[in-house]
Amino acid sequence: MKRLLGVVVALALALAPIAPVGAEQDTLAKIKETGVLTIGTRTGSPPFAYVNKNNEWVGFSIDLVEMLVKPEVAKAVGKAIKIEKKESTPPTRIPLLTNNSVDLIAETMTDTAQRRESVDFSLTFFYTGAQFLVKKGSPVKGVNDIAGKRIASQQGSTNAKIIREKYPQAQLREFPDQPAAFQALAQGQVDAYTNDGIQLAGLKAKAPNPGDWEVVGDFYSEEPYGMAMRKGDAKFKAAVDAGLKHGFESGKYFEIYEKWFGPKGDVPYPMTPQVKTYLLKQIGK
Amino acid sequence: MADAAIRFRDVNKWFGKHQVLADINLAVSPGEVMVVCGPSGSGKSTLIRCVNGLEAIQGGDLVVLGESIVRSGVSMSALRTRVGMVFQSFNLFPHMTVLENIMLAPVRVRGLSATEAEKTARTLLARVRIPDKAENYPANLSGGQQQRVAIARALAMQPKIMLFDEPTSALDPEMINEVLDVMTDLAKEGMTMMVVTHEMGFARRVAHRVVFMDAGRVVEEATPDAFFAAPKSERAKDFLSKILSH
Amino acid sequence: MNYQFKWSVLWSGQSGSWLLQGVITTLEISALAWVLAAALGIVSGALRTVPFRPLRAVGTFYVEFFRNVPLLVWMFFWYFGVPPLLPRAAQDWIFNHGAEFWAGMFALGVYHGARMSEVIRAGILAIPRTQFEAAVAMGLTTFQAYRLVIVPIALRLIVPPATNESLNLLKNSSVALTISVAELTFQTRQIETYTAKAVEALTAGTLIYLILCVGIAAVMARVERRFAIPGLIARGG
């Protein structure tokens, strides 16, 4: 038995140095060869990426890839390409990227300094911050009311990390996905559910009785969403960023935003002037 | 005959559609040794398994030690403390030592203290002539020794009746006598015994009565002398010629 | 591959204490669930072999009902389905006192009890019927015969498959993270969240599970040798 364990440890250590030595992957070359850009995205995060009532896999993030990134990547590889979608979740998305299962993560991933050590991020394509979803009339009105309260969060999210570090008096309960966390809120297992404000707005819009729920509190964190790519692939990143930049410049981006977040969109979430300024500042405007 | 230790009255039993006991009428007196013989499948094992309720009867009445065992609400456990049984396959409990096997029922059922039970157990082991095997596990005993422990285990409950279901059939020939000797001692002490066996020598020497069964029926019932000298039925003659000639 | 390995994330910062907490929670929930599973498994496994049809039906119902529904569903059942049956004040109390842990423990214990039941039933069926007859023939009740003879023999026979089932239970305790029990897998994911070093965190989790499983298997092998029935073929350890 001891010998077996020794073998496994040796194997793990032996593999470790081999892996990172490999040549840097050229994603564009791979896409040129296969004609396919594979993205990792969510199935249950409306309106960014989800499976709708007609069983179609759609969303804001997916539209951005289809309408802004895809043409630019096609131009870079010099041929028409297809988009393929795979499911990614917070714990799986970085491994999916690094093991080449997907080329681009386009969902609801916050651009953080920690993550930048493992992956590269595109320009920020959405800006939100952490808030709370509560039953209407709840004593929780914001991050200053959560001491002693049971707070649900999503496993692997930046919000959970902030609550744990800065608000340790709250009783944090971490769920692997949105539906479980919402169920816990609906049944009273928890007093509030914290996530990015836009996600909570989406959840509220989708709830059986949206009027029963409130999204409360100021942003207690900054959550700029970016698309993630394998680290160090400058050519591919340039293509993705060019697509987004073109979208901002031409106004196409704002049309897509309006489609999903406008008054008639899935989740009404009007863009504030500050957010618009933040987004345009990225391209020097 | 009201004081019979065991009385079968018009007992019938079926396994599904197959009748295994048919119109059995038999009585065993206190202190009597009855040997039951017959070809295999004749119902002789089933017959004695009815006495301690391992098999239920479906017609007639069976009275054991003054109590009808077909009456509803009769406690089989209480009955079985007074009727010991020895099986063909010994059935010692393999995870217990010889001593533990013998002490189990006296302690758990009779509520004897461990000291008392152990004293009795050691006396019984001496009686079955293996006092030195008390601490052994069954796997370390010969078949003959195991069967003698099984007899001691049954005797530990101080039963009024002992049932033997082919006690020597699973033994190597050289071990048969050591078991039969213990049984002979027991008979001499006046134990009421029903013995299913093919050991005709034992039947001739020890039994007070021999019952011959075939196809679920009692075909002959006689003293050993009468039975072995002049069996009345053709089937008994046939059976004896086969069993004595080999 | 562009992945940069950084094994130091496993011992820098809070990672070490998280992993330790994860291991403790995993062991706690598994140990309690194991006791529950063993108790339910022995009782229901024995019930399924007794010569009394209604009791057999009870045992069979338990096993078929609980082992044929995925463990994940049972986790949700015990966490989301059961508390609403309690008064509101009681609900609040348990939600403040580790409802996740207890729901996870029950889900795990009851589910594996049904699987353990099959193992124990198989053990009992491997014992010749005449052992039971010998036990009751000397005056033991059916209950005593099971408690003193049949179950003790069966338990000795089933140590290898029961070990297997115990390891499954330990590994399945990770499903409890779906109802926010901060066990080992949860904590490895946490490290991944903090450090974005998924491979290192998963490797640490994998090695710890391996060590726990190998340790349990070693303990069970010792138990098997200690309680082996003399005369049965001793299995190598």
pLDDT, one tens digit per residue, over C105-121 is 999 999 999 999 999 99
Q: Do at least 3 CB pairs under 8 Å connect C with B?
A: yes
A11 belongs to a structural domain: no
Q: Is some CB atom of chain B closer than 8 A to the CB atom of C218?
A: no
Q: pLDDT at position C31, please?
A: 97
A74 belongs to a structural domain: yes
B1 vs A51: which has the higher pLDDT: A51
Provide the mean pLDDT of chain B.
93
Categorise residue B129: left if φ over 0, alpha if ψ from -120 to 50, beta otherwise.
Answer: left
Based on the domain organization, do A141 and A198 belong to the same domain? yes
Mean pLDDT of B164-192: 95
C2 belongs to a structural domain: no
C232 belongs to a structural domain: no
Mean pLDDT of B165-187: 94
Residue-range definition of the domain harbouring residue C178: 7-227
C223 belongs to a structural domain: yes
Based on the domain organization, do A123 and A141 belong to the same domain? no
Q: pLDDT at position B245, please?
A: 66
Q: pLDDT at position C235, please?
A: 43
pLDDT tens digit sequence for A4-40: 544 454 444 444 434 443 445 689 999 999 999 999 9
Q: Is some CB atom of chain B closer than 8 A to the CB atom of C156?
A: yes
Residues of A in contact with C2 (CB under 8 A): 20, 22, 24-25, 98, 230-233
Alpha carbon of C12: minimum distance to chain A alpha carbons (Å): 14
Q: How many CB pairs under 8 A join A and C?
A: 112
Report helix, strand or coil for B85.
Answer: strand
A76 belongs to a structural domain: yes
Alpha carbon of B105: minimum distance to chain C alpha carbons (Å): 6
Given an 8 Å threshold on Cβ–Cβ distance, is B95 in contact with C156?
Answer: yes
> CB-side exposure of A283: number of CA atoms within 13 Å?
19
Q: How many CB pairs under 8 A join B and C?
A: 80
Report helix, strand or coil for B71.
Answer: coil
Based on the domain organization, do A79 and A139 belong to the same domain? no
CA distance readout (Å), A158 to A38, A116, C68:
25, 14, 37
A5 belongs to a structural domain: no
Block means of pLDDT (10 residues each) for chain C, 237 residues, are 74 85 96 97 96 93 94 93 88 89 96 96 94 95 95 94 95 94 91 81 92 94 90 51
How many separate domains does chain C show? 1
Q: Choose the weakest-confidence range: A142-151, A255-264, B236-245, C144-153.
A: B236-245
C204 belongs to a structural domain: yes
Given an 8 Å threshold on Cβ–Cβ distance, is A20 in contact with C214?
Answer: no
The predicted model scores a pTM of 0.78
pLDDT tens digit sequence for B86-126: 999 999 999 999 999 999 999 999 999 999 999 999 999 99
A163 belongs to a structural domain: yes
Report the CATH number that the domain containing residue A82 is assigned in CATH: 3.40.190.10
- List the beta bridge partners of residue C134: none
State the ipTM, two decimals.
0.91
Given an 8 Å threshold on Cβ–Cβ distance, is A187 in contact with C180?
Answer: no
* Residue that terminates a domain, selected from A170, A202, A221: A221
Percent of chain A with pLDDT over 70: 91
Based on the domain organization, do A57 and A112 belong to the same domain? yes
Residue in chain A nearest C81 by alpha carbon: A187
* Residue that terminates a domain, selected from A221, A237, A272: A221
How many separate domains does chain A show? 2
Given a contact cutoff of 8 angstroms between Cβ atoms, the answer to whether A81 and A270 are in contact is no
Based on the domain organization, do A205 and A190 belong to the same domain? yes
Given an 8 Å threshold on Cβ–Cβ distance, is C7 in contact with A150?
Answer: no
Based on the domain organization, do A196 and A238 belong to the same domain? no
Given an 8 Å threshold on Cβ–Cβ distance, is A100 in contact with C1?
Answer: yes
Question: What residues of B are in the C interface, CB distance below 8 Å?
Answer: 52, 54, 76-78, 80-81, 83-85, 87, 89, 91-95, 104-105, 108-109, 137-140, 150, 153-154, 157
Based on the domain organization, do A187 and A135 belong to the same domain? yes
Given an 8 Å threshold on Cβ–Cβ distance, is C141 in contact with B77?
Answer: yes
Report the CATH number that the domain containing residue C137 is assigned in CATH: 1.10.3720.10
Residue in chain C nearest B108 by alpha carbon: C140
Residue-range definition of the domain harbouring residue A262: 20-127+224-281
C33 belongs to a structural domain: yes
Based on the domain organization, do A103 and A42 belong to the same domain? yes
CA distance readout (Å), A274 to A278, A279, B230:
6, 9, 120
C116 belongs to a structural domain: yes
Mean pLDDT of B146-175: 95
